[in-house]
Chain A
Amino acid sequence: MTQPLDRTVQIKAQGKIDHAAGEFWVENPFSIGQKRLNLSAYEPNQLFLNLQGQGFVNLSHASGADTDSDSRSVMTADFDRDGDVDLLVANVGGGPLQMYRNQIPQHHHRVRIALEGTLSNKLAIGTRLIATCGAQKIVRDVFAPNGFMGQSPPELTLGVGTAEVIDSLMIRWPNGDTQEFTDLPVDCQISLREGDEEFKVGKLVLN
């Protein structure tokens, strides 16, 4: 039952097949999908909660985002602009699109960081931010990640846990220039224009 990784191979059955119970055999493995047979079927999507960098807990079922559709793409963004990150999932089967609203009771503080490049590219893709809140250092890079067939926006909703102030925020713009700000408020939007000495404070939640 082995073969070179060969799209044409035909492998004969080597024993009995319990058809009555649903067992099946396809001589050419590459044709299994075309024959509309299960292949890694009804696998639930997984959500792993990061335990403060000390490991993960699998909260797939608890989250409700464990759809067993045949999923392909994942996009993360604050779609409803309530200050936390939601999910958009695309599938080839089981409903083409699924949107999940983040309903975690948010007792943690957050800041939406809106960046504008001037010497660097306007959407500031390729910026590194280092937020220091007490003993906690949070490092985030702004890109428009595309894990597979789905691009997320280059936006940044920064969770800062229980911190009520960001002690310092270091920004390394895409061109390498750095700026540092201190004592920034939380639960708001902070707009930063490359080179400006002041930042603007706006609303975190639009809805």
Chain B
Amino acid sequence: MNRIVVVLVTISACGLIAWYATRPEPAPPESVAEAVGFAGLDEELQKKIWDREHFTFEIEKKFGKLFSKAIQTSPQKMGPLFLDPFVGSIPAETVGEEIGELWWQQATVGGGENNQTATAAEVAEQLVQLLTDFKVVDSLKLKILKIKPTAEENSKEHPSKWDVDILLLATGRRSDHGPISLDAAHRATLHFRDDEDIEQGNILAAWHIGKSFIRSAPEKFMQDITAEVGLAIGPGNPELVLWDNWTAETQFPPAHYNLQLAAADFDKDGFVDIAISGRRNDQYLLRSVAGKSFENVTSKMGLPNGRGRKQVANSPMHIATWFDYNNDGYPDLILGDAIYKNLSGESFVEVTAETGIRLEGAIFGCAIADFDCDRWPDLYLLNHGVGRPTETNQGYIDDAQSGEENHLWRNRGDGTFEEVTATAGVGGGLRNSFAASWFFANEDHYPDLYVANDFGTNQLYINHGDGTFTDIAKDAGVGDFATSMGVISGDLDGDGGPEVYVANMFSKMGRRIIANVSKTDYPEGVYEQILGSCSGNRLYRTDLGKNQYAEISEAVGVNRVGWAYAPGMADFDADGFLDLYAATGEFSFDREKPDG
């Protein structure tokens, strides 16, 4: 039996640390518990977790509402929230550190070692002051990152005093209308017996002001130009019809993944064009018109609209990748489930069969590089897999049994390719691969490969330059099990050793639960896997050529992204240092409902 993965699932406001299904409904549940030899957590522990999640929901929803109103009004209005006796502390220095440039500012309050004791009135005063620079508050949320009974109540069946880690998140506008936000990590002790106490709001037995960031800008420095360049979807844009879960008819199930895109200048006019392949039989080539608008040239360029593609796992294969396989400088295109040669930017002709590349199975995407440095770009195909149920376990997902092998195709330079996965040793195991990044993990010029997998451990393949690779992820410290969605790499600190930024899930619920269970509640190794699945994005820092990585995401504040997908790296402010952008959000259907 391979190691199984055990996941906590619980309710709350926010839904679940959940795992999404992309495949048909599997068979009966009884066999799964038997097969893995673990029926679940101890029932009493489950009940405890349930209660804590329920209280979290009530606190965020009901107390959060009272708190939000009071903190935006005055310290006096906060008074009724505090209990007597009350224990409080505030930063010793009232003026925080301020950094920034003309186009952004950040003030930091608290977070130092030397908080000083404070009364309820002093704490309230300081809390209200956090919003001083907000002319308007658009949103203010109180979120619970951790909830545990206080030490003296820990063994009680129905504890009434709780230590909580609180996240205060606010967004709004400054007096000059510039965007401003508050991001604060505080600690509190709450005293309540039941939902009614929470709703009434007089529950703060302690509050400790922690590190609080106030960030703002005179104006948004990333301007949304979607509509201006014709990329907004809607009745006004009949040329471009793309699926949107938020506006789609409700009889259709929402899409987990839909669009795959690839950006490149296919006609060498100096402007970057966009290829799109969707799961709903939609395919587009959008030519950039001097960067000012996009023209739909799909059929004009001889490309099909995507209907009639092969069906894989209930959806058509929908790859979008630019790939100049014939080295003429005009990037060729893999779109949907076919390969097209770019004829000098004037049209495309299908060459799938001639290349010999088998676009079969559940190919999820591509990563391109000339791995053997022979001048001809090669192709790494990510295989999402369609699961490997066995007779005894139909439903569960297991690291190296969760998907299919990836494929490496070597470009022979004559328009044909040969599959070299086995000799190269880069199949990645039978996993659900979502993304891969070619980068230089060492000082030679042969590109190495990081593979990010859902429901499994990740790989770091060192390219030996002789056609073979070795996975060193575990020894190098980058092989966590973390339900990864994406990966990007680049040198973030200027030492020549590229860092690796991996998109994983950050789950507030997961963190609350993990604080209330221990390793011994699970079969061996499972606790670590759960921890990895709720810790958020990982940033692995390295020095060039050391093959040793240190995980620093939490220390530098880039882990708390959410249910994260693509990570991006670019030097937005041209200071010589790559910045990060991270996409996130799984399913949003109702702004009134809990948002996780």
Verify B49–A5 contact, CB threshold 8 A.
no
B16 and chain A: residue at smallest CB distance: A29
Q: How far is the CA of A74 from the CA of B579 in the complex (A)?
A: 13
| Complex interface: chain A residues within 8 A of B569 (CB) | 76, 145
Q: Which of A27-65 contact B (CB under 8 A)?
A: 29-34, 36-53, 55-65
- CB-CB under 8 A from B27, the residues of chain A are 8
* A25 CA to B15 CA, complexed, in Å: 7
CB-CB nearest in chain B for A14? B50
- Bound-state CA distance A97–B29 (Å) is 39
In the assembled complex, B106 has its CB within 8 A of some CB on chain A: yes
Tier of interface size on chain A? 35 or more
In the complex, A169 has a CB within 8 A of chain B: no
- A6-B32, A23-B54, A145-B437 in contact; A126/B558 too (CB < 8 A)? no
When C-beta atoms are compared, the residue in chain A nearest to B395 turns out to be A8
Q: In the complex, which residues of chain A have a beta carbon less than 8 angstroms from the beta carbon of B220?
A: 62-65, 103
Residues of A near B369 (CB, < 8 A) are 125-126, 143
With beta carbons under 8 angstroms apart, the residue of A36, A74, A92, A126 that contacts B257 is A92
Q: Is the CB of B563 within 8 A of A40?
A: yes
Q: Which of chain B's residues have a CB closer than 8 A to the CB of A81?
A: 270-271, 290-291
Inside 8 A of A65's CB, which chain B residues have their CB?
220, 222, 224, 581
A103 to B221, CA, bound (A): 5
Please, how many angstroms separate the alpha-carbon atoms of A141 and B578 in the complex?
A: 12
A129 shortest CB reach to chain B, Å: 11
| Cβ–Cβ contact A72 & B576, under 8 A | no
Chain B, residue nearest A127 (CB): B445
Q: Which listed residue (B232, B244, B583, B590) contacts A45, Cβ 8 A? A: B583
Within the complex, the shortest CB–CB distance from B475 to chain A, in Å, comes to: 23
- Cβ–Cβ contact B592 & A22, under 8 A: yes
Please indicate the chain A residues that have their CB under 8 angstroms from the CB of B216 in the complex: 62
Q: Would B242 and A18 count as touching, CB distance under 8 A?
A: no
- Quick check: B258 and A92 within 8 Å, CB to CB? yes
Cα distance, A140 to B455, chains bound together (Å): 31
Inter-chain contacts of B567 with A (CB < 8 A): 74, 147-148
Q: Is B12 an interface residue (CB 8 A)?
A: yes
Which residues of chain A (111-130) have a CB below 8 Å from chain B?
A: 116-117, 119-123, 125-126, 128, 130
- B residues 372-394 near A (Cβ < 8 Å) are 373, 375-377, 394
Contacts of B40 in A (CB 8 A): 1-4
- B291 near A207: Cβ-Cβ < 8 Å: yes
Q: Is B577 an interface residue (CB 8 A)?
A: yes
The 8 A CB mask of B556-571 against A (1 = contact, 0 = none) is: 1110011101111111
A38–B254 CA distance with the chains assembled, in angstroms? 12
Please, how many angstroms separate the alpha-carbon atoms of A117 and B581 in the complex? 30
Query: Beyond A33-B586, A122-B327, A125-B377, is A76–B581 a contact (Cβ under 8 Å)?
Result: yes
On whether the beta carbons of B490 and A141 are closer than 8 Å, the reply is yes
Min distance, Cβ A27 to any Cβ of chain B, angstroms: 9
List 28 A–B pairs whose Cβ atoms lie within 8 Å, in order of A's numbering: A1-B11, A4-B5, A29-B18, A30-B21, A38-B594, A40-B585, A47-B579, A48-B558, A50-B580, A65-B222, A68-B585, A71-B566, A93-B588, A96-B258, A99-B229, A108-B574, A120-B373, A136-B576, A146-B437, A147-B488, A148-B486, A148-B583, A150-B261, A152-B263, A153-B264, A153-B265, A157-B574, A159-B574
Q: Ordered nearest first, which 10 A-B pairs have the shortest CB separation? A: A64-B220, A159-B574, A148-B486, A40-B563, A43-B562, A93-B245, A71-B583, A8-B395, A148-B566, A53-B493
Given contact pairs A7-B26, A22-B593, A141-B498, a sample of 14 additional A-B residue pairs in the complex whose CB atoms are under 8 Å apart? A3-B6, A4-B6, A8-B26, A42-B595, A46-B582, A50-B492, A97-B226, A98-B226, A100-B222, A141-B490, A144-B264, A148-B486, A150-B261, A151-B321
